[in-house]
Amino acid sequence: MTQLDLAEAIAANPAYVDRVLARLREDGLVITGRCLFHIPAPEELARAAREPTPPKT
């Protein structure tokens, strides 16, 4: 699944999906690559989804 496929599947702007995935990668919550989407710690991703996050500066 490409980022464009993901954006279309969730009815989101592709640029937004790119920004969110970049932040999740920076935070170590997802690992992506060609034909790869891995969530190394699902419980941490779930916790992050529940908590508000301040904007990156």
Q: What is the pLDDT of residue 22?
A: 95
Where helices occur in the chain by DSSP H, the ranges are: 3-9, 14-26, 42-50
The answer to whether the Cα torsion of 34, 38, 8, 16 is positive or negative is negative
Q: What is the pLDDT of residue 19?
A: 95
The whole-angstrom separation of Cα 32 and Cα 24 is 10
41 residue type, one letter: A
| pTM for this model (two decimals) | 0.79
pLDDT (tens digit, 9 = 90+) per residue, 3-49?
Answer: 999 999 999 999 999 999 999 999 999 999 988 889 999 999 999 99
Q: What is the pLDDT of residue 54?
A: 67
